[in-house]
Amino acid sequence: MHFLLIGLNCRYSHSCLALFYVRNELDRNLQNQQTTIKQFTINDPYYETLLGISGSRADTLLFSVYIWNASYISRLVTDLARIQPGRPIILGGPQAPAMVGLPENCTVVEGAIEGVGEDFYHDLEAGTPKSSYKAKPSHSFRFPYLDDDFSGELLNRQVYYESSRGCPFCCSYCLSSINKRVVHKEIKEVEKELAGILRHQPKIIKFVDRTFNDNPERALAIWHYLAEQAGKTQFHFEIAPDRFTEEMFAFLKTVEPDRFQFEIGVQSTNPETLAAINRRMDVEASAVNISRLAAFDNIHLHVDLILGLPYETEESFRKSFNMVFALRSHYIQMGLLKVLPGTEMSSDAEEFGLVYCEQPPYQILANRLMNHETLSKLYAFGECVEAFYNNRYFRSIWSYLHERQEEPYLVFRHLLEVKGRPYFSGLSPTQKMLTRILSEMADERPDRDILKDLLRYDWLRCGHRFIPDFLETQPLSEIRTELWNKSPENLEGLYTYQNRSEFFKRSDFLEMSNEALQEVGLNPGDERTIVCFLPEETQGVIKHRRVTTIECV
């Protein structure tokens, strides 16, 4: 028999971990069968995807269903059933049990593939699968990959890996809270499996453990192992912010930049909200720990907040955002609550007044204390944060506003108003457009001059070789010419007479006020101080051009 295992990912760079587990279980439980994995994206043209599947000679089709691809798959299986009504279609994954109106030739498998009974494979082999199967809890899960996968379906894709399955927490909005059992692989087994992946030098390995550091000692041991491995592979972890030890901090401070990424779920700092969603978290400890990690500047920190949780109001969300912004993480994601079928949250929807989309991904529309208008406004606010903060463009601006103790929430609200002006409508959020919006905001403030200096500084640090006309005061070419004429033949630490010409050709120069220089950590000299933007990049998480200063007499 021939089985076609189909993944519908969000992006081409993603991969579907479940398909590889299913492939291995089919190989283990059936004889004389062939399995093929084929991955598409939900952004691919629908008809071409349909033809790519319908043209397969596979006897049975198997889909992995999640909230982000459920609608796409529902459409596919409906049309596939019309084309070939007798070909069995198997649907598994967390969203499969919630699918309704499926064609008669569809089978739904609920639970992990490792726990499915022998009758499933017997029926599959006979070509007569039942309408549904429910897996029993599984106490183990095998390594999902074969060496050939890394030159095939995993080539140039992210590699997902589980060192544990399940979550120790009981957050009511999460499917992981339904099964409260956590299974950890032995550390030696994890190291052996990771070695098998690292031989192929993937760009990134994403640990899908729901809370990687639920056991801090175990997490630290795995981190030690990964840090000792050669290569440039990055490692991504989902982290609980209040479960760090001093030993972990001491180690993490030494990690090479660009190797570790942490996704940190804060979700809310409102005590009433956290209690309502069964989220046990020490907010104060979490804030301290995230700040400490950010100060290391070697681990990319992605912090999550959720819009629309029970008992959340605009004011409580404002407090959460201000606290998270002050921690100086590199990325702040403001996602919408998704009320997933089968979760405790869905059972309590009426109690909390949750109004949410009927179809996947079931995004929140309103709750008892936050009407739809307010939620819409906060969603637009989150998009504004995405545009202006979740990049490397304006780090000096945010640092300056932080040091002045300005409230971040009000700053982004004002930016949202400026961004909404008619002449910005329909424009792509390029760095130039965003810089223009910030420049307009600066024009309305008493500290206009220093903000404009910081905008020019951030613009050049990002690699540009010119200043936008709405920011330019003195042409950069004039400053370069002046420095060329006045600077010595040799300048220690920067150039000698032999490479002087190359230095001036590859560098850019900007004059800034003494106050602005101090804000970006540069000391003004006794004479005119010119900032020099070098072609080399800085170290740390966010890469910019390296800068220094030259005194111009």
CB atoms within 10 A of CB 428: 6
Q: What is the mean pLDDT of residues 477-481?
A: 94
Clarify whether residues 241 and 117 are in a common domain.
no
Q: Which residues fall within 8 angstroms of residue 254, CB to CB, at 6 or more apart?
A: 227
Q: What is the pLDDT of residue 337?
A: 97
Per-residue pLDDT tens digits for 37-69 = 999 999 999 999 999 999 999 999 999 999 999
Q: Are 224 and 191 in contact (CB under 8 A)?
A: no
Question: For residue 278, is it within any domain?
Answer: yes
Which amino acid, residue 175? L
pLDDT confidence of residue 238:
96
- The CATH number linked to 48 is 3.40.50.2300
Are 162 and 129 in the same domain? no
- Is there a domain that residue 21 lies in? yes
* pLDDT given at position 427: 73
Confidence of residue 180 (pLDDT cuts 50, 70, 90): low
For residue 251, being part of any structural domain is answered with yes
Task: For strands 528-537 and 545-552, give the pairing.
Answer: antiparallel
Assess whether 130 and 162 both reside in one domain.
no
- Please give the structure tokens belonging to residue 242: 């209040």
| Residue 402 resides in a domain | no
Percent of the chain whose predicted confidence (pLDDT) is above 90: 90
Q: Above 80 in pLDDT, residue 550?
A: yes
Alpha-carbon distance of 468 to 465, in angstroms, equals 10
Q: Report how far apart, in Å, the C-alpha atoms of 283 and of each of 57, 219, 234, 240, 544 are.
A: 55, 21, 28, 11, 32
In the predicted model, is pLDDT for residue 140 greater than 90?
no
Amino acid 169: pLDDT: 83
> Tokens 């529309």 sit at which residue?
365
Regarding whether 194 and 88 lie in a shared domain, the answer is: no
Q: Does a structural domain hold residue 142?
A: no
Q: Model confidence over 404-451: pLDDT tens digits?
A: 999 999 999 999 998 888 777 777 889 999 999 999 999 999 999 999
- Asked whether residue 526 is domain-assigned, the answer is yes
Structure confidence at residue 524 (pLDDT) = 87
- When divided into structural domains, the chain yields a total of 3
Residue numbers of the domain that contains 82? 2-134
| Contact present, 441 and 394 (Cβ < 8 Å) | no
Whether the pLDDT of residue 235 is over 70: the answer is yes
Verify that 243 and 315 share a domain, yes or no.
Answer: yes
What token pair was written down for 353?
């007044």
116 alpha carbon, distance to own chain's centre = 32
pLDDT in tens, 398-417: 999 999 999 999 999 999 99
Output the average pLDDT for the chain.
94
Residue 129 lies in a domain: yes
Q: Which residue has the tokens 């220690």?
A: 492
Q: What is the pLDDT of residue 135?
A: 93
Please give the average per-residue pLDDT across 310-324, as a whole number.
96
CB 167 within 8 A of CB 174: yes
- Mapping DSSP onto H, E and C, the string for 402-416 reads HHCCCCHHHHHHHHH
pLDDT score of 525 = 79
Q: Are residues 70 and 216 in the same domain?
A: no
Distance separating the N- and C-terminal Cα atoms of the chain? 82
Domain match, 228 and 127 both: no
Q: Is residue 376 part of a domain?
A: no
Give pLDDT tens digits for 6-46: 999 999 999 999 999 999 999 999 998 999 999 999 999 99
**CATH code of the domain containing 253:** 3.80.30.20
Enumerate the H helices of 129-270 as residue ranges: 187-198, 216-227, 246-252
Query: According to the model, what pLDDT value does residue 168 have?
Result: 83
Q: Which residue, 119, 134, 149, sits at the end of a domain? A: 134
Mind listing the pLDDT tens digit for each residue in 243-287? Answer: 999 999 999 999 999 999 999 999 999 999 999 999 989 999 999
Same domain, 242 and 179: yes
CA-wise closest residue to 266 among 300, 318, 304, 211: 304
**What is this structure's pTM?**
0.94
Query: Length of the chain in residues, anyone?
Result: 553
Q: What is the pLDDT of residue 426?
A: 73
On whether both 246 and 318 belong to a single domain, the answer is yes
The answer on 173 and 67 residing in a single domain is no
What's the pLDDT at 177? 67
Query: Tokens for 61?
Result: 């089709």
Give yes or no: residues 199 and 243 share one domain.
Answer: yes
Separation CA 329–CA 322 (nearest Å): 12
Per-residue model confidence as pLDDT tens digits over 79-125: 999 999 999 999 999 999 999 999 999 999 999 999 999 999 999 99
Residues 163 and 221 in one domain: yes
